[in-house]
Every structure is written in C-alpha cells, then in structure tokens.
C-alpha cells in the first residue's frame, strides 16, 4: 500500500493501491489459515487411519 505523510499535520494521504499489492496482502494473511487447515486434515487422516487399523476394519474389507 502506498501512502504519503503530510508535513506538519500528521495526516496520512493514501496515494495508490495496486491490485498486485491487494492480492499479495490477501494471500499473505490467508496463508497461515490454509496451512493450519491442511495440517489438521493430515493429522485427522492419520488418526482415522490408525483407528481403522486398530479396529481391524481393513481386514473385514478384504473378506
């Protein structure tokens, strides 16, 4: 985001916001959430696989 501070007033004047900057900021803010969702999905899949393995569900499917 581009901005300029006006002298002696303390106000900030927003000059221009390019679409590239908007998209970059948007994806940078959403990236941690996507990583958390992906990690939780992988962990949940491993737990589900382990439960099915412990219940011998795969053995029942083979028969």
Is the pLDDT at 56 greater than 90, yes or no?
no
Burial class (CB in 10 A: 0-12, 13-18, 19+), 59: exposed
Q: What is the pLDDT of residue 19?
A: 79
Burial class (CB in 10 A: 0-12, 13-18, 19+), 15: exposed
The full set of domain ranges for the chain reads 2-62
How far is the C-alpha of 58 from the C-alpha of 38, rounded, in Å? 25
Q: Please report, to the nearest 10 degrees, the dihedral formed by the alpha carbons of residues 49, 54, 55, 57 taken in order.
A: 50
Q: What is the pLDDT of residues 28-50, one digit of tens each?
A: 888 999 999 999 999 999 999 99
């Amino acid at each position: 985001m581009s901005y300029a501070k006006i002298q002696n007033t303390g106000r900030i004047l927003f000059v221009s916001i390019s679409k590239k900057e908007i998209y970059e900021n948007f994806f940078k803010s959403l990236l941690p959430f996507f990583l958390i969702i992906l990690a939780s999905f992988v962990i949940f899949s491993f737990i589900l696989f382990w439960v099915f393995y412990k219940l011998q569900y795969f053995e029942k499917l083979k028969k």
